[in-house]
Structure 1
Amino acid sequence: MTSARAAAAELGTFLGNPREPGGPFSYRETVAAEERNELPEGAIHAIRSWGFQEFLVPVEQGGRFGNLEELFCVTRTVAQRNLTVAVMFGSALLGANPVWLWGSDEQKKALAAEILRGRLTCFGVSEADHGSDLMSSATTVRHTGGHLVLSGAKWPVGNATRARFVTTFARAEEGRRFSLLLVDKAELPPGTWAQLPAVRTAGLRGHDLSGIVYDEAPIPASSVIGHEGTGLAQTLKALQITRTAIAALSIGTMDAAIRIALRYAHDRELYGRPVYDLPVIRDTLLKAHVDLLIGECVAVPVSRALSVAPSRLSLWSSVVKFFVPVLAEEVVASMAAVLGARGYLREGVADGIFQKLQRDHAIASVFEGTTHVNLHGVAHQLPHVLRRASREATAEEAAGRRRLLEAVFCMTRDAPRWEPDGSRLQLSNRGHDEITTGWDEAERHLGELAAAPDPLPVLPELRGLVGEFRERSTACWSSVTAERDWDSGSVRAQSVATEHAVYHAAASCLLTWQVNRKDLGGEFAAGGWLVLCLERLLQRLDPSRQLSAHHAAPLERVVLDSLEKDGEFSLHSFRI
Structure 2
Amino acid sequence: MTDLTHDFLKTIQHFETTLGDPTNEQSEINFVRSVTLDEAQAFPDDYIHYLKDIGYFSYFVPTEMGGKLHELSELLLLCRTLSRRDLTAAIATGQTMLGALPVWLCGDQTQKTLLAEHILQGHLGCLALTEKRHGSNLLASEVSATEHADGYQLNGEKWLINNATQGHTMTILVRKYDHNQRESLAVLLLDKTCIKDFENIEKINTHGIRCADISGIRFRNTQVPKSAIIQTNEPGMYGVLKALQISRILCAGFSLGAFDTCLRLTYDFAKSRTLYQKTVLDMPTVQQGLGRSFAKLLVAEMVSLASSKTLNYAGKSLSVYSASCKYWVPKTTELAIDELKVILGARYYLRDEYQAGMFQKMQRDNAVVSLFDGSSQLNLGLISSQTNAIASKLLDNPCVHPDIAAWFDLNTATSLSTISSAMLSVSNMGQDPVLASFLAITEQRQFDTLDANLQSVLHTLKQHILSWCDTIQTLQHNEQNEPASVVRFAATKQYTQLFATSCCALYVIFNPSHPLLGQSDIAQDLLTVILDDSDLWVPSSALLSTLDTQHQNQSMYSLLALPK
- Please confirm whether the aligned pair reaches a TM-score higher than 0.5, indicating the same fold: yes
Relative distance call for 1:309 and 1:448 in structure 2 (3 A) is closer
In 2, Cα distance between equivalents of 1:148 and 1:575: 52
**1:185 to 2:192 alignment:** yes
Tell me if structure 1 keeps the 8 A contact 2:175–2:186. Answer: yes
AA paired with 2:244? L
Tell me if structure 2 keeps the 8 A contact 1:24–1:40. Answer: no
C-alpha RMSD of the superposition: 1.9
In 1, Cα distance between equivalents of 2:77 and 2:529: 25
Which position in structure 1 is the counterpart of 2:351?
346
In 2, Cα distance between equivalents of 1:562 and 1:253: 17
1:471 maps to which of 458, 463, 475: 463
AA paired with 2:377? H
Deviations 1:446-471 (A, max 9, x none): x5554xxxx55xx2112221222222
AA paired with 2:421? G
AA paired with 2:453? E
In 2, Cα distance between equivalents of 1:426 and 1:375: 18
AA paired with 1:408? W
Tell me if structure 2 keeps the 8 A contact 1:22–1:29. Answer: no
AA paired with 2:176? A
Output aligned runs, 1:149-548, within 5 Å. Answer: 149-173=153-177, 174=181, 177-189=184-196, 192-227=197-232, 230-392=235-397, 398=399, 401=401, 403-444=402-443, 447=445, 449-450=447-448, 455-456=449-450, 459-482=451-474, 483-484=476-477, 486-518=481-513, 520=514, 522-540=515-533, 543=534, 546-547=536-537
Tell me if structure 2 keeps the 8 A contact 1:304–1:408. Answer: yes
**1:14 to 2:18 alignment:** yes
TM-score, length of structure 1 as denominator length: 0.93
Tell me if structure 1 keeps the 8 A contact 2:10–2:562. Answer: no
Tell me if structure 2 keeps the 8 A contact 1:56–1:93. Answer: yes
Could you tell which deviates more after superposition, 464-473 or 90-99? 464-473
In 2, Cα distance between equivalents of 1:295 and 1:87: 19
Tell me if structure 2 keeps the 8 A contact 1:151–1:214. Answer: yes
TM superposition shift of 1:444 = 4.5
AA paired with 2:545? R
In 2, Cα distance between equivalents of 1:251 and 1:176: 41
Partner secondary structure for residue 435 of structure 1:
helix
AA paired with 2:553? K
In 1, Cα distance between equivalents of 2:8 and 2:166: 29
Partner secondary structure for residue 177 of structure 1:
strand
2:550 maps to which of 558, 562, 565: 562
Which position in structure 2 is the counterpart of 1:43?
47
Deviations 1:239-274 (A, max 9, x none): 001000000111111111101000100111112211
The percentage of counterpart residues that share the same residue type is: 27
AA paired with 1:500? Y
TM superposition shift of 1:226 = 2.2
TM-score, length of structure 2 as denominator length: 0.94
In 2, Cα distance between equivalents of 1:182 and 1:414: 32
AA paired with 2:382? G
Tell me if structure 2 keeps the 8 A contact 1:558–1:573. Answer: no
Matched pairs, number? 554
Could you tell which deviates more after superposition, 463-472 or 151-160? 463-472
From the two aligned structures, give the one with the greater helix fraction.
Answer: 1
Tell me if structure 2 keeps the 8 A contact 1:188–1:217. Answer: yes
In 2, Cα distance between equivalents of 1:211 and 1:429: 33
Deviations 1:68-127 (A, max 9, x none): 111001100000100110000111011111111111111111110010001111111110
AA paired with 1:33? L
Relative distance call for 1:13 and 1:575 in structure 2 (3 A) is closer
TM superposition shift of 1:332 = 1.2
Partner secondary structure for residue 436 of structure 2:
coil
AA paired with 2:416? R
TM superposition shift of 1:219 = 1.1
Partner secondary structure for residue 434 of structure 2:
coil
Output aligned runs, 1:134-145, within 5 Å. Answer: 134-145=138-149
Partner secondary structure for residue 368 of structure 2:
coil
In 1, Cα distance between equivalents of 2:563 and 2:97: 32
Relative distance call for 1:211 and 1:228 in structure 2 (3 A) is farther
Query: Where does structure 2 lack aligned partners over 5 or more consecutive residues?
Result: none
TM superposition shift of 1:308 = 2.6
Partner secondary structure for residue 156 of structure 1:
strand
TM superposition shift of 1:229 = 7.2
Relative distance call for 1:170 and 1:229 in structure 2 (3 A) is farther
Partner secondary structure for residue 42 of structure 1:
helix
Tell me if structure 1 keeps the 8 A contact 2:9–2:563. Answer: no
1:99 maps to which of 95, 103, 106: 103
Partner secondary structure for residue 179 of structure 1:
strand
Partner secondary structure for residue 213 of structure 1:
strand
In 2, Cα distance between equivalents of 1:30 and 1:575: 28
In 1, Cα distance between equivalents of 2:504 and 2:520: 10
Which position in structure 2 is the counterpart of 1:70?
74
AA paired with 1:562? Q
In 1, Cα distance between equivalents of 2:183 and 2:223: 21
AA paired with 2:343? V
Deviations 1:329-353 (A, max 9, x none): 0111111111111011121222221
Tell me if structure 1 keeps the 8 A contact 2:37–2:44. Answer: yes
Relative distance call for 1:412 and 1:358 in structure 2 (3 A) is same
Tell me if structure 2 keeps the 8 A contact 1:308–1:415. Answer: no
Deviations 1:385-409 (A, max 9, x none): 122223235xxxx46x0x3222322
Deviations 1:350-406 (A, max 9, x none): 22211110110010100011111101111111111122223235xxxx46x0x3222
In 1, Cα distance between equivalents of 2:554 and 2:299: 21
In 1, Cα distance between equivalents of 2:396 and 2:182: 42
AA paired with 2:17? T
Relative distance call for 1:513 and 1:350 in structure 2 (3 A) is same
Tell me if structure 2 keeps the 8 A contact 1:513–1:527. Answer: no
Could you tell which deviates more after superposition, 362-371 or 296-305? 296-305
AA paired with 2:279? P
Query: Where does structure 1 lack aligned partners over 5 or more consecutive residues?
Result: none
TM superposition shift of 1:419 = 1.5
Relative distance call for 1:213 and 1:448 in structure 2 (3 A) is closer
Tell me if structure 2 keeps the 8 A contact 1:301–1:408. Answer: yes
TM superposition shift of 1:440 = 3.7
